[in-house]
Structure 1
Amino acid sequence: IVPCHRVVGRDGALTGYAGGLARKRALLELEAAHATA
């Protein structure tokens, strides 16, 4: 199971998310920061 905010377009572009693209971007950035810490 993949959380819906992690789904991106084939070209890497952010696509629709019920919470809005700004929130989706913020979630992905937050997860990326924790993954490298």
Structure 2
Amino acid sequence: MTAFIQSRELRKKRWIASTSILLRELMESVLDHVD
């Protein structure tokens, strides 16, 4: 049971990390277009 919860938490953290990276790249590209 704990292993299942740990893997789920790991997957959530990995998803959050990849999403934040995508958002940062998106914001940088938007700012580049504004300039």
TM-score with structure 2 length normalisation? 0.51
Partner of 1:31 in structure 2? 18
Query: Which of structures 1 and 2 has the bigger CA Rg?
Result: 2
Identity level (%) = 0
User: What residue ranges of structure 2 are gaps of 5+ in the alignment?
Assistant: 25-35
Matched, 1:20 2:2: no
TM-score with structure 1 length normalisation? 0.48
Higher-RCO chain (CA-CA 8 Å, sequence separation at least 6): 1
Pairs aligned (count): 20
Tell me which stretches of 4 or more aligned residues in structure 1 moved more than 2 Å: none
User: What residue ranges of structure 1 are gaps of 5+ in the alignment?
Assistant: 1-16
- From the two aligned structures, give the one with the greater helix fraction: 2
- CA RMSD between the two structures: 1.9
